[in-house]
Amino acid sequence: MKQNLMTLLDKINGQKVLIVGDVGLDEYVMGQVSRISPEAPVPVVDVKEEDSRLGLTANVAANVTTLGGEPLLLSVVGEDEAANQFSDLLLKNGVSKDHLVVDSKRPTTRKLRIIAQQQQVVRVDYEKKSFITQEIETQLLNKAEKLMPHVSVVILQDYAKGVVSETLSQGLIAIAHKHKKSVFVDPSRYTPLEYYKGVDLIKPNRDEAIQLSGISVDELRETKDIIQKVGAKIREDSHAKYVIITEGQKGMQFFSQEEQFQIPTYARQVFDVTGAGDTVISALALAWSAGANFKEACTLANFAAGVVVGHVGCVSCEVDELKNYIETH
């Protein structure tokens, strides 16, 4: 298996992926806490370091890049200073800004995290969650139509910030299938499952899967194997060919009409799970586009997730670190 994964990583190199979804800035203020504020019963963080990183769907694009693929990022930003910072970070991370649509009526999403002693103290969000306008939606779909012939696979990454409407999602799936390209969806628990109807693969985590399934708490309480029931319901309702449910330290469960299996986790000491789902969907899509079967793709994705949870904050999976991790585990 080790050699198969190493060969797969070589095949991933250069695979082009169209990535669509909400983007934003992840901002970090890191420091130490040694006292409580005299103004209110809250900790005082003495700032030692500040950092800005690609957030939300842009982190998927960053992962595709560091794993050896080429991301074509399609999303919406505002006309503000945060958008300029975001563009600079894209350039720094080897991701093109050419496919972004500017909406002057929306702010660029920012998430500011205050961290002390490797623990998050508070998060401050700057965002507008309403759906994008029909005009912006049309621009995105027109761009998708032009880009589709040049990619191997499509990732639809939904953070429920307004980019992924039902019209956008169904339009993107239709365009992809017209060009015989698969669509992999990382869903939001806040988005109705019918938005993703007809996708090739859907990858919720355990909590998202339970909520998306619509199965009542009482019914689940009487179910011996919850994940099997939930996975089957999601596949049936979404008409997806494949369902992968991630379960943290338990690994992930795969469902299709033909088979079902579990892939164990390969996580080391966990410092921060932020962005692990982005890494998983990136690795899955790249592996699939490079010709891997789903057991190989899921195994690679679990190793990649094991790498990123060993870091603090939202980081992408570097291919050299991943190769070393596979070698030593």
Catalytic residue positions, numbered: 278
CA atoms within 13 A on the CB side of 15: 29
The tokens describing 90, both together, are: 């894209």
DSSP labels, 288-305: HHTT--HHHHHHHHHHHH
Pairing mode, strands 182-186 and 153-157: parallel
The identity of residue 227, as a single letter, is: I
Cα–Cα distance measured from residue 84 to residue 81, given in angstroms and rounded to the nearest whole number: 5
Contact 303, 87 (CB under 8 A): no
Cα–Cα distance measured from residue 13 to residue 23, given in angstroms and rounded to the nearest whole number: 24
Q: Taking Cα atoms as reference points, which of 70, 55, 52, 53 lies closest to residue 23?
A: 55
